[in-house]
Amino acid sequence: MRPARSTLSDGVTVSNVPLVDLGWQQREIADEVATGFARVLDDTSFIGGRDVAEFETAFAEFVGVDHCVGVANGTDALEIALRGLGVGIGDEVVVPANTFVATAEAVARVGASLVLVDVDDDRLLMSPDAVEKAVTDRTRAVIPVHLYGQCAPVDEIQARLEGLGIPIVEDAAQSQGSTHHGKPAGSLADVAATSFYPGKNLGAYGDAGAVLTRDADLARTMRLLSQHGSEVRYEHEIVGFNSRLDTLQAVVLRAKLARLSGWNQLRRDAADRYAQLLADVPDVRVPVTADGNVHVWHLYVVRVPRRHEVLAGLQQRGVGAAIHYPHPVHLHPAFAYLGHGPGAFPVAEAAADEILIPLPAERPALDGD
Ligand X SMILES: Cc1ncc(COP(=O)(O)O)c(C=O)c1O
Residue from 207, 218, 226, 363 that binds ligand X (CB under 6 A)? 207
Angle (CA) 335-340-346 rounded to 5° is 115
Crossing angle for the helix pair 23-43 and 247-278, to the nearest 10 degrees:
170
Question: Could you give the C-alpha distances from 14 to 3, 213, 309, in angstroms and in order?
Answer: 10, 47, 17
Using the minimum distance from each CB to ligand X, give the nearer residue, 103 or 249.
103
Which C-beta is closer to ligand X: that of 145 or that of 219? Answer: 145
Applying CB under 6 A, does 209 fall inside the site for ligand X?
A: yes
Provide the 8-state DSSP code for 2: P
Question: Least CB distance from residue 39 to ligand X, whole Å?
Answer: 25
**Letter for the amino acid at 25?**
Q
DSSP 365: P
Burial tier of 3 (Cβ tally within 10 Å: 0-12, 13-18, 19+): middle
Q: Which of 25, 99, 139, 221 binds ligand X (CB under 6 A)?
A: 99
Taking CB under 6 A as the rule, does residue 116 contact ligand X?
Answer: no
Instruction: Rule CB under 6 A: say whether 246 interacts with ligand X.
Output: no
Alpha helices by DSSP H, listed for the chain, are 23-43, 50-63, 74-84, 101-109, 128-134, 154-160, 216-226, 247-278, 307-316, 346-354
φ, ψ of residue 253 to 5 degrees: the values are -65, -35
Beta-carbon neighbour count of residue 334 at 10 Å?
A: 12
Q: Do residues 156 and 164 touch, judged by C-beta distance below 8 A?
A: no
| 1-9, 61-69, 129-137, 166-174 -> range binding ligand X (CB under 6 A) | 166-174
Q: Which of 93, 102, 157, 321 binds ligand X (CB under 6 A)?
A: 102
Q: Residue 186 or 310: which CB sits closer to ligand X? A: 186
Q: According to the binding rule CB under 6 A, does residue 177 interact with ligand X? A: no
What residues contact 359, with CB distance under 8 A and at least 6 apart? 17, 270, 274, 300, 319, 321
Which residue's CB atom is positioned nearest to ligand X?
74
- Rounded CA-CA distance 222/84 in Å is 5
Question: Segment contacting ligand X (CB under 6 A): 24-32, 68-76, 245-253, 332-340?
Answer: 68-76
Is the Cβ of residue 101 or residue 275 nearer to ligand X in the bound state?
A: 101
The verdict on 170 binding ligand X (CB under 6 A) reads: no
Nearer to ligand X, 150 or 195 (CB): 195
Q: Is 73 in the site for ligand X (CB under 6 A)?
A: yes
CB 268 within 8 A of CB 296: yes
Rounded Cα gap, residues 198 and 354, in angstroms: 26
Number of residues that bind ligand X (CB under 6 A): 15
Q: Kindly indicate which of the ranges 51-59, 129-137, 170-178, 329-337 contains the residues binding ligand X, using the contact rule CB under 6 A.
A: 170-178
What's the CA gap between 59 and 64, in Å, rounded? 8
What is the nearest approach in angstroms of ligand X to the Cβ of residue 218?
19
Binding range to ligand X, per CB under 6 A, among 15-23, 67-75, 284-292, 343-351: 67-75
Piece of the chain touching ligand X by CB under 6 A; list 169-177, 266-274, 341-349, 358-366: 169-177
Among 25, 51, 56, 74, binds ligand X (CB under 6 A): 74
Residue among 92, 171, 190, 349 that touches ligand X (CB under 6 A): 171
**Shortest gap between Cβ of 207 and ligand X (angstroms)?**
6
Provide the CA 286 distance to its chain's centre, in angstroms.
20
> Which of 25, 75, 98, 178: binder of ligand X (CB under 6 A)?
75
Q: Which residues bind ligand X (CB under 6 A)?
A: 73-75, 99-100, 102-103, 145, 171, 173-174, 195, 197, 207, 209
